[in-house]
Amino acid sequence: MSRLKELRKYVDAELNKMEDTDKRTSAIAHLYGVSLAATMIAKKRGLDPEIAAMAAMLHDLHAYKTGSYDDHAHKGAELAGEILRELKLTDEAETEMICSAIYHHDDKLVTDGPLDEALKDADVMDHCLKDASKAVKEKEQARFDKLCAEFGMIDT
């Protein structure tokens, strides 16, 4: 089984504990949507697509487990570290890269390292493309504009 598949098995089991079925459905859709976008962005930018997808699968898990978005990026990075060290799917450098991406993923207005940026952009891509009829949020507009240019998409 691939590392990504193994991690997804763990994340799926955690998400299946969510009692609210609507919230559970959107949590699953979001983590898998961001994971697909992260893979695409990583491949386009020469980053490791598996590590990007693994970061995406874990990035909002703390919020889903606790029902709170309060400081969820920083707390989520800590949780991701615990999970990855328990599952032993990654080496320490990979774990740190994933945790850093999750730690920074809510800082959409600043620029961090390449994998950090890939996760932020993947999050924005999922938010903006899961329903293209919805208005893009102000804090995501600049990033979405850049993504449209990078991927040759027309923002209609």
Site size toward Fe ion, by CB under 5 A: 2
Spatial contact of 56 and 122, defined as CB atoms under 8 Å apart:
yes
Cα 22 to Cα 16, 53, 97, distances in angstroms: 12, 23, 31
Q: Which is nearer to Fe ion, 135 or 154 (CB)?
A: 135
Q: Does 123 bind Fe ion (CB under 5 A)?
A: yes
Q: Which is nearer to Fe ion, 49 or 76 (CB)?
A: 76
What count of other Cβ atoms lies within 10 Å of the Cβ of residue 134?
A: 10
In the complex, the smallest distance separating the C-beta of residue 119 from Fe ion, rounded to whole angstroms, is 9
Q: Which is nearer to Fe ion, 121 or 123 (CB)?
A: 123
Closest CA to 121 of 23, 65, 40: 40
Spatial contact of 7 and 51, defined as CB atoms under 8 Å apart:
no
Draw the binding track, 87-116, toward Fe ion (x: CB under 5 A; -: no contact). ------------------------------
Q: Which is nearer to Fe ion, 3 or 74 (CB)?
A: 74
Contact residue for Fe ion among 27, 49, 53, 60 (CB under 5 A): 60
Q: Is 94 helix (H, G, I), strand (E, B) or coil?
A: helix
What is the C-alpha separation between 32 and 45, in angstroms, rounded? Answer: 20
What is the C-alpha separation between 144 and 153, in angstroms, rounded? Answer: 10
Stretch that binds Fe ion, among 37-45, 95-103, 117-125, 137-145 (CB under 5 A): 117-125
In the complex, the smallest distance separating the C-beta of residue 128 from Fe ion, rounded to whole angstroms, is 12
- Provide the binding-site residues for Fe ion, judged by CB under 5 A: 60, 123
